């Protein structure tokens, strides 16, 4: 693939992750919001008269837009730092722990959304009433419209399980996520699942 289709003057597409070793990309991707540079910092020798020049960005994390909303998992960070200096077995274990961490955080993050989504699904009583209706050309029941106002009322009443720094940070985080393409994709997928389930229930009702 031509790298110019990914790296150009336009902002990177949402979810794009580019791994490179060529220092050329440091300048080409200067407008990207996040840069993570891996490696060890070079110690300057006092005996050398010439400065040590390393191509590419210095090791570390740089961000132009990231805001921290939840508290750090310091125990996990400590285990990752120990693994970097440890054996291959420790590195493998740390990699698995990191995957489990993000999987758990994602599931926990979705709890308030799934909780509110369940209130939008037609109840069993509504499905039974709809199935027994004699209305001609009746349409299949669907998921109710997602209301941002109602979602935040639910979030305020029940809270979230993620360790947010404050209630305002919690609200700001979900407000920001609801404006991303990821939310639209998630909601679209949920609508498909609910539609399929309701269709199967309606077909079973007709068969009985």
Domain layout of the chain by residue ranges: 1-66, 94-127+140-206
Residue with tokens 């941002």: 148
Alpha-carbon span 158 to 109, nearest angstrom: 13
**DSSP letters spanning 27-63:** HHTTTSSEEEE-S-PPPPPTT-SSPP--SSPPSEEEE
Three-class DSSP category at 67? coil
**DSSP letters spanning 154-181:** HHHHH--SS-BS-HHHHHHHHHHHHTSH
Tokens of 80: 């990752």
Q: What is the pLDDT of residue 14?
A: 76
Q: What is the pLDDT of residue 63?
A: 77
Tokens of 52: 């040590």
**Per residue of the chain (208 residues), what is the pLDDT tens digit?**
567 778 888 888 877 888 888 877 888 888 888 888 876 666 655 665 555 556 667 777 777 777 788 888 899 989 988 898 889 998 999 999 999 999 999 999 999 999 999 999 988 887 777 777 666 566 778 889 999 999 999 999 999 999 998 999 999 999 999 999 999 999 999 999 998 888 887 777 655 5
Q: What is the pLDDT of residue 206?
A: 54
This prediction's pTM: 0.69
Asked whether the beta carbons of 132 and 124 are under 8 A apart, the reply is: no
CA–chain centroid gap for 193, Å, is 20
Three-class DSSP category at 70? strand
Q: What is the pLDDT of residue 36?
A: 81
Q: What is the pLDDT of residue 151?
A: 98
CA–chain centroid gap for 39, Å, is 26
Other beta carbons within 10 angstroms of residue 112's beta carbon come to 20
Three-class DSSP category at 144? coil
Q: 103 - beta bridge partners?
A: none
CA–chain centroid gap for 107, Å, is 10
Instruction: Provide the 8-state DSSP code for 145.
Output: P
């Amino acid at each position: 693939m031509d790298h110019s289709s990914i790296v150009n003057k336009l902002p990177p597409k949402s979810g794009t992750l580019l791994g490179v070793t060529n220092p050329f990309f440091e300048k080409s991707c200067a407008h990207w919001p996040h840069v993570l540079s891996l490696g060890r910092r070079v110690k300057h020798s006092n005996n050398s008269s010439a400065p040590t020049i390393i191509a590419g960005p210095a090791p570390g994390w740089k961000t132009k837009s990231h805001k921290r909303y939840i508290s750090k998992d310091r125990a996990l960070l400590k285990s990752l730092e120990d693994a970097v200096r440890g054996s291959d077995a420790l590195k493998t274990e740390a990699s698995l722990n990191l995957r489990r961490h993000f999987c758990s955080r994602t599931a926990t993050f979705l709890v308030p959304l799934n909780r509110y989504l369940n209130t939008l699904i037609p109840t069993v009583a509504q499905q039974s009433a709809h199935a027994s209706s004699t209305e001609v050309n009746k349409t299949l029941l669907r998921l109710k419209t997602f209301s941002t106002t109602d979602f935040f009322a639910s979030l305020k009443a029940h809270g979230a399980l993620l360790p947010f720094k404050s209630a305002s940070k919690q609200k700001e985080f979900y407000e920001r996520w609801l404006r991303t393409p990821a939310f639209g994709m998630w909601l679209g997928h949920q609508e498909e699942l609910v539609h399929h389930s309701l269709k199967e229930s309606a077909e079973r009702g007709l068969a009985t």
